[in-house]
Amino acid sequence: MREIYLDNCATTRTDPDVAGVALKLMTTYYGNPSSLHKKGLEAQLLLEQARGKIASALGCEPQEIYFTSGGTEANNLAILGAFWAHHRRAKGVVGTQTEHSSVLGALRHLSQQGASVTLTPPSQDSCADPKSITDCIDENTLLVSCALVNSEVGGVSPIGEISSAVRAKNSRTLVHCDAVQAFGKLPVSVKKLGVDLLSVSGHKLHAPKGIGALYIRRGVRISPLMHAGEQQAAIRPGTESTPLACAFGTAVEKITGEMQQNFNKYSHFRELFLEKAQNIQGVCINSARKETPYICNVSVLGYRSETMLHFLAERGIYVSGGSACSKGRDSHVLTAIGLPRERIQSALRVSFCKDNTEQDIEDFFEALQQGMSQLARSKP
């Protein structure tokens, strides 16, 4: 049975060349990058090369990149670290209702610690609404956090416009961007976005799981979440995972060179996908208008997401019902954009990567129609 993997927003298959880099670091350049001998120096030089590759892709200085265990840690370090570094002067934090669970979880924690947290409603296409956000900004606003790309329906938020508008109202407000679903697929420039903090992750772009990074603009003060050694300026202490960091750097370098080619491919896939979806009675399109082309979200009315997911998986086709972090709960994103419960509970998210083909889409829809024919309709 041929495997068709269309859940690339959850994670991607590690590129074999990238995995080879990690293996070589584990078995040949295995020194601790903080050690003062030759093996440590070898590892340190390779670690800094990886940091430089990620900085180059983001348009910043290598000293502004801090490796983390992934996007969740990067988001938490940005949000919690910024709050605890500056909470004596301000306690207001603004986000949107459609942020990733790692952002919403950090904001909920801060609200329990005395922060004044405001979650603004999104526009109909899941994007952050600049007016809703700037209306909340006052002299007490410490931080604004917005995702560049929504992980469930693919809406692209105008982060540059939001950053400018926020600063016009309060020049001391920090802006954080969760770019985990955008990095490696869209051009991401921290200067063009005008952000102070930006999170990225490796396993969304064919690097291994367990590695991410946080951009912290030079001069921005962040309190660490862990207290140990002096690695990474004591912002994120602990022995760095040199194999994963170097694999991440290699993946970034590789996918950045392929970005335009991949974008064109995804755009073609999306047109094909939406054309086929529109021709099937009972299938509704949930994807955003201002979308990235690599995420398509549809609802198959009358069929619960998990029922259809299992039917497809039995045929080697892998999609999701939304963010992998939701663990089957109703999508907070689809709820926030006002979709009826029937559509929320029958939603499927399809997300492409560079390895997908037109035939994958053809096979997906063939299996989907088989499922609609064979499965008993279930009331969401």
Instruction: Please check the confidence at residue 326 and state whether its pLDDT lies above 60.
Output: no
Q: What are phi and psi of 372, to 5 degrees?
A: -65, -30
Per-residue pLDDT at 87: 93
Instruction: Tally Cβ neighbours within 10 Å of residue 52.
Output: 15
In CATH terms, the superfamily for domain 4-12+259-374 is Aspartate Aminotransferase, domain 1 (3.90.1150.10)
Q: What is the mean pLDDT of the chain?
A: 93
Please give the Cα distance from 343 to 298 (Å, whole number). 8
SS3 166: helix
Pairing between strand 174-178 and 283-285? Answer: unpaired
- Predicted confidence at residue 323, as pLDDT, reads 56
Over residues 82-113, the pLDDT tens digits come to 999 999 999 999 999 999 999 999 999 999 99
Contact 194, 167 (CB under 8 A): yes
With tokens 């934090």, the residue in question is 93
Please say whether the structural domain 16-256 has been given the CATH code 3.40.190.10: no
- What is the arithmetic mean of pLDDT over 117-135? 89
Quickly state the pLDDT bin for 328 (edges 50, 70, 90).
low
pLDDT tens-digit readout, 238-247: 989 999 999 9
Contacts (Cβ under 8 Å, ≥6 apart) of 111: 117
Q: Which two structure tokens, joined as six digits, stand for 160? A: 């540059």
Residue 337, pLDDT score: 87
Kindly provide the residue ranges of all beta strands, DSSP E only, lying in the chain, ordered along the sequence.
4-5, 65-68, 92-96, 116-120, 141-147, 174-178, 197-201, 212-216, 283-285, 295-300, 317-318, 347-351
Structure tokens at 217: 């603009």
- Name 11's Cβ contacts closer than 8 Å, sequence gap at least 6: 203, 204, 209, 324
pLDDT cut 70: percent of the chain above it = 96
For the cut 80, the answer to whether the pLDDT of residue 24 exceeds it is yes
Per the annotation, the verdict on 325 as an active-site residue is yes
Q: CA-to-CA distance for 215 and 78, rounded, in angstroms?
A: 9
The closest of 65, 118, 66, 69 to 91, measured between CA atoms, is 118
pLDDT tens for residues 257-297? 999 999 999 999 999 999 999 999 999 999 876 678 999 99
Mean pLDDT, residues 152-178 taken together: 96
CB atoms within 10 A of CB 129: 18
Q: Is the pLDDT of residue 1 over 90?
A: no
Amino acid, single-letter form, for residue 156: V
Average pLDDT for residues 130-153, to the nearest whole number? 95
Tell me the C-alpha distance between 291 and 296, whole Å: 9
Scan for tokens 């050694």, then name that residue: 229
Query: How many whole angstroms separate alpha carbon 189 and alpha carbon 204?
Result: 18
Distance CA 20, CA 254 (A): 14
| Predicted pLDDT at 376 | 73
325 close to 204: Cβ distance less than 8 angstroms: no
The model's pTM is: 0.95
Q: Hey, what are 372's tokens?
A: 């609609």
Pairing state between β 197-201 and 174-178: parallel
What single DSSP character describes residue 201?
E
Answer with the residue of higher pLDDT: 128 or 193: 193
The model's confidence at residue 8, banded by pLDDT at 50, 70 and 90, is: very high
**Helix axis angle, 358-374 relative to 305-313, nearest 10°?**
120
Cα 102 to Cα 87: distance, rounded to the nearest angstrom: 20
Catalytic residue among 60, 136, 246, 325: 325
Tens of pLDDT along 200-226? 999 999 999 999 999 999 999 999 998
List the domain boundaries for the chain: 4-12+259-374, 16-256
